[in-house]
Amino acid sequence: MKQELEAMYQAMGIEPCVYAYGTRVLEGLQERFARIDQVAEYNQLKVVKAMQDCQVSEACLLGTTGYGYNDLGRDTLEQVYAKVFHTEDALVRPQITCGTHALALALMSNLRPGDELLSPVGKPYDTLEEVIGIRPSVGSLAEYGVTYSQVDLLPDGSFDYPKIRAAITPRTKLVTIQRSKGYQTRPTLSVERIGELISFIKGIKPDVICMVDNCYGEFVETIEPSDVGADMVVGSLIKNPGGGLAPIGGYIAGKKSCVENAAYRLTSPGLGREVGASLGILKDFYQGLFLAPTVTASALKGAIFAACLYEPLGFGVVPDSRESRHDIIQAITFGDPEGVIAFCQGVQAAAPVDSFVTPEPWDMPGYDAKVIMAAGAFVSGSSIELSADGPIKPPYAVYFQGGLTWQHAKYGILQTLQSVVDRKIVDRSKLSV
């Protein structure tokens, strides 16, 4: 079987030296992979228990149209999410179009003119800059009189507690904590560290709302930020919790008052969560959530494999090959645009859909530099599927994530290495060391 497998990789464009290098790297990862499987098993049981406790039935898999009044499946799904995240309430809707929309919805519904938003973990993800008004944009929080304050992380990635204390004022209404790194090469925040930060902030101002951007982090650990004091956790269904099946959607789970505010902002004052048809996609939402723990585990294995593959070749990787993992994203710094482009083109070549397409950098809405994105996905833009992207600006880092199965993630990563070898960014001789 070993020879047949190697022959199949060769038929898929992976030359023997690349395959052999990947095989050597994998020999040292079995213990780590076993620990990931244990976390996935725990989270799988957590999801199943939530579905059983909420009495998910076949009728819940059906959909509604029009106003969507009395949508049993939609309302039950929101109960399931609240159970999974151990929160008072949850809003899970196809009308939430993406992660940025979910975050904007949570912010705009819980902030009022004169309030201040604080980020104690540095600059937020690029697309939130226009939501907040850091970069002027129509409809931003800044246009509605909401101010913004930011405290950067210290050079070692730790929290700058004295500056955070000084930044919290009577006008500080909401604190946003981004769990993942975004287009930065800082460490991802563990749930434990997020809990420590929330405890510190609540000790200064108990009534402040603490919101966690949970994108890319769901089911990576056995606990979520809502288990350590977050008032809201927010994410996208075309990332981890959708399990690769959700075709659209986002969620906000947290305190009932915060979630209700979001529901009224999503639809209309007076209507709130009572309207919003599910349009026949609830089965994908339920089944995707059911699969999410094991899909996330596959993506995590792929991220670790990528770090262990590229670090010995001299590239900066965050997290490094030995660090604990708190999201599914792997950053690899090439130091020049050609490396980023070659990597993304390798990911695209490994895709089940549009593998024949060659991605190129372009001016994508919401970003301040050209961005290259690679994802031959069943759901457009789904970053729980094998995908990679990065801004074409210093330090020229690529951000790799996803993989619905470990086997596909493995092939995709080997294809990225083949791509950078073909373009002479990595010399073949380095693979035999």
The pLDDT tens digits of the residues spanning 86-112 come to 999 999 999 999 999 999 999 999 999
Q: Is the pLDDT of residue 327 over 70?
A: yes
Mean pLDDT of the chain: 96
The pLDDT tens digits of the residues spanning 145-165 come to 999 999 999 999 999 999 999
pTM (2 d.p.): 0.95
Q: Is the pLDDT of residue 433 over 70?
A: no
- Percent of the chain at pLDDT > 70 equals 100
Radius of gyration of the chain (CA): 22
The pLDDT tens digits of the residues spanning 11-23 come to 999 999 999 999 9
Which residue shows structure tokens 């604990």?
Answer: 324
User: By the 8 A CB rule, do 102 and 235 touch?
Assistant: yes
Distances (CA, A) of 180 to 177, 185, 220: 9, 10, 12
Least Cα distance to 69 among 278, 254, 209 occurs for 278
Instruction: Over range 195-216, report the average pLDDT.
Output: 98
- Percent of the chain at pLDDT > 90 equals 94
Tell me the C-alpha distance between 280 and 65, whole Å.
8
Distances (CA, A) of 184 to 121, 131, 136, 333, 376: 12, 19, 21, 10, 24
The class of domain 62-281 in CATH terms is alpha beta
Contact residues for 190 (Cβ-Cβ < 8 A; gap 6+): 221, 324, 326
Q: Is the pLDDT of residue 352 over 70?
A: yes
Instruction: Over range 266-270, report the average pLDDT.
Output: 97
Instruction: Over range 226-235, report the average pLDDT.
Output: 98
CA atoms within 13 A on the CB side of 299: 35
CATH of 2-43+290-432, one of 3.40.50.1390, 3.10.450.50, 3.30.565.10, 3.90.1150.60: 3.90.1150.60
User: By the 8 A CB rule, do 374 and 345 touch?
Assistant: yes
Tell me the C-alpha distance between 295 and 275, whole Å.
31
Tokens of 35: 């620990």
39-53, 136-150, 151-165, 171-185: lowest mean pLDDT where? 171-185
Instruction: Over range 167-171, report the average pLDDT.
Output: 98
What are the boundaries of each domain within the chain?
2-43+290-432, 62-281
